[in-house]
């Protein structure tokens, strides 16, 4: 789904109106270095389609990103020497999305500890049979 307002910073990057360090592009996808990296090689992969969140992205763009993400992850690891990486994908301001254009972070985890830190607070699973059914019905 397209936005009404197509003026995020990533739209400007897609239009070549502001510079970036491009590492990959095709008809559907652009990848470039994050301007505020949390690790050397921190890369952003975005669709050309102006969707805000992943759930709004067309199947065509989603497939294009899915096809190229492993390649970009391999390239980031090859170029930086990282042996591990995280994919981070935030949707909505409450979920820490700052730029309202779908993007995937490829974040290498380096031996010096730089990279994504994760706080993972586990909850009890409880009785989720109805929940599983509700999600399954909605897919």
Among 20, 31, 46, 107, binds ligand AMP (CB under 6 A): 20
CB of 96 to ligand AMP, least distance (A): 5
Q: Residue with structure tokens 């759930």?
A: 55
101 is catalytic: no
Q: Is 95 in the site for ligand AMP (CB under 6 A)?
A: no
- Whole-number Å distance between alpha carbons of 34 and 46: 11
Q: What angle do CA 53, 103, 10 make, to 5 degrees?
A: 100
Reading the block at residue 55, the tokens are 């759930």
Our measurement of the distance from residue 50's CA atom to the centroid of its chain's CA atoms, rounded to an integer in Å, reads: 14
Active-site pick, 96, 103, 105, 110: 103
CB of 84 to ligand AMP, least distance (A): 19
* Chain residues 39-58 in contact with ligand AMP, contact rule CB under 6 A: 44
Residues listed for the chain = 139
Q: Which residues bind ligand AMP (CB under 6 A)?
A: 9, 20, 34-36, 44, 90, 96-99
- Which residues belong to the active site? 103
């Amino acid at each position: 789904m397209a936005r009404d307002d197509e003026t995020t910073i990533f739209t400007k990057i897609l239009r070549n109106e502001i510079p970036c360090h491009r590492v990959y592009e095709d008809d559907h996808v652009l990848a470039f270095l994050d301007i505020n990296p949390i690790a050397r090689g921190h890369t952003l992969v975005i669709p050309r389609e102006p969707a805000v969140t992943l759930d709004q992205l067309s199947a065509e763009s989603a497939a294009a990103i899915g096809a190229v993400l492993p390649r970009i992850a391999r390239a980031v690891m090859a170029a930086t020497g990282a042996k591990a990486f995280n994919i981070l994908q935030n949707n909505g301001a409450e979920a820490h999305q700052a730029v309202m254009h779908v993007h995937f972070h490829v974040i290498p985890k380096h031996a010096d500890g730089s990279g994504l830190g994760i706080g993972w607070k586990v909850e009890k699973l409880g009785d989720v049979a109805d929940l599983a059914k509700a999600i399954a019905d909605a897919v």
